[in-house]
């Protein structure tokens, strides 16, 4: 592995850790704040860090865009997804929620013939079916889903992530990554502000650092991922993002004494293996 590739691997590992830490902060903050409020405070903190960075490292033109509609769609779907992610982490153990989010690439493959007009061969369809079988192991569907739909929240978050991934394929052709991140976070602040100001509450003193952590880790993981893809191909770095399950399991045990069941381990292994097979076939 050359030095540039090693930098890419380090940055994607750092970004993956920060994603788990962001969700950990959101789970702790959920004792007083709902998902919509956390989207708002996340955005306020993130913009206070991101905007000075963009001004210091790029010309003002980095804020300009002609694709308002595309940014609006990405922001709406993306922030709904963020809210669902935060909600899922308040309803489920850390490892379970993280494993369910791994289904996002499966949704991308399943929806790409319809939304992107891409061809998916038979072997990839089999991998998608096997991957969703792994999701069933994790979610353990039953009639209880009607009264306790926690796993469906996680899958809804994964679906939103998949839709955003497909939107980014289009935006990435013309927009700077920082421009896309800026309008995504700005949209989240605008959309969540009315609810936060009318129904929400100010952060409690003992939660301020956790709330700030949501925004801080958001910026670090976004910048980390953006930089990582400058040093190595996305397809090469993708497998390293599955280290999230290790961090989530460790943090879940340290903070909440959550034990990971054999069912979740087996389901996660199936989903990850399916995603890696789809990635290999796509390459």
* pLDDT over 80 at 145, yes or no: no
* pLDDT over 70 at 253, yes or no: yes
Question: 131 burial class (0-12, 13-18, 19+ CB within 10 angstroms)?
Answer: buried
Q: What pLDDT does residue 148 have? A: 61
pLDDT digits (tens, 9 = 90+) for 23-69: 999 999 999 999 999 999 999 999 999 999 999 999 999 999 989 99
* pLDDT over 90 at 87, yes or no: yes
pLDDT digits (tens, 9 = 90+) for 269-279: 999 999 999 98
* pLDDT over 80 at 143, yes or no: no
Beta strands in 69-157 (DSSP E): none
Report the pLDDT averaged over residues 200-221.
93
Q: What are the sequence ranges of the domains in the chain?
A: 3-282
CA contacts within 13 A on the Cβ side of 86: 26
The pLDDT-based confidence of 136 (bands split at 50, 70, 90) is: confident
The token pair that represents 6 in the structure block: 């090693």
Chain centroid offset of residue 235 CA: 17
The pLDDT-based confidence of 230 (bands split at 50, 70, 90) is: confident
In the numeric block, the tokens 């996680």 are attached to 154
Under a CB-based contact definition with an 8 Å cutoff, are residues 17 and 179 in contact?
no
Q: What pLDDT does residue 141 have? A: 67
Question: 242 burial class (0-12, 13-18, 19+ CB within 10 angstroms)?
Answer: middle
Please give the Cα distance from 123 to 136 (Å, whole number): 20
Report the pLDDT averaged over residues 78-95.
96
pTM of this prediction? 0.93
**Sign of the dihedral through C-alpha 93, 103, 50, 232:** positive
* pLDDT over 60 at 142, yes or no: no
Please give the Cα distance from 192 to 88 (Å, whole number): 18
Closest by Cα among 89, 129, 165, 159 to 271: 129
Please give the Cα distance from 61 to 57 (Å, whole number): 12
Please give the Cα distance from 195 to 219 (Å, whole number): 23
What sections of 120-261 are H helices per DSSP? Answer: 122-139, 144-147, 150-171, 177-198, 208-231, 234-237, 244-256
Secondary structure of 210-228 in HEC code, one letter for each residue = HHHHHHHHHHHHHHHHHHH
């Amino acid at each position: 592995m050359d030095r540039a590739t090693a930098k890419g691997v380090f940055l994607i590992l750092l970004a993956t850790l920060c994603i788990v830490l962001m969700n950990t902060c959101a789970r702790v903050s959920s004792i007083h704040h709902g998902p919509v409020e956390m989207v708002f405070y996340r955005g306020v903190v993130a913009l206070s860090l991101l905007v000075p960075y963009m001004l210091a490292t790029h010309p003002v033109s980095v804020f300009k865009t002609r694709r308002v509609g595309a940014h609006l769609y990405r922001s709406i779907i993306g922030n709904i997804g963020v809210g669902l992610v935060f909600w899922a982490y308040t309803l489920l153990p850390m490892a379970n929620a993280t494993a369910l989010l791994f289904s996002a690439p499966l949704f991308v493959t399943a929806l790409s013939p319809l939304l992107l007009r891409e061809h998916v061969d038979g072997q990839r369809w089999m991998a998608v079916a096997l991957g969703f079988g792994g999701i069933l192991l994790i979610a353990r569907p039953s009639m209880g889903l009607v009264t306790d739909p926690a796993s469906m929240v996680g899958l809804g978050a994964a679906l939103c992530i998949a839709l955003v991934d497909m939107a980014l394929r289009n935006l990435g052709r013309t927009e700077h990554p920082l421009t896309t991140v800026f309008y995504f976070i700005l949209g989240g602040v605008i959309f969540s502000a009315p609810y936060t100001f009318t129904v929400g509450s100010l952060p409690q003193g003992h939660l301020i650092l956790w709330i700030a952590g949501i925004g801080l880790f958001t910026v670090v993981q976004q910048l980390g991922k953006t930089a990582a893809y400058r040093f190595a191909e996305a397809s090469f770095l993708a497998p390293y993002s599955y280290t999230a399950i290790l961090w989530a399991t460790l943090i879940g045990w340290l903070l909440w004494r959550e034990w990971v069941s054999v069912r979740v381990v087996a389901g996660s292994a199936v989903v990850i293996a399916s995603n890696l097979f789809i990635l290999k076939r796509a390459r």
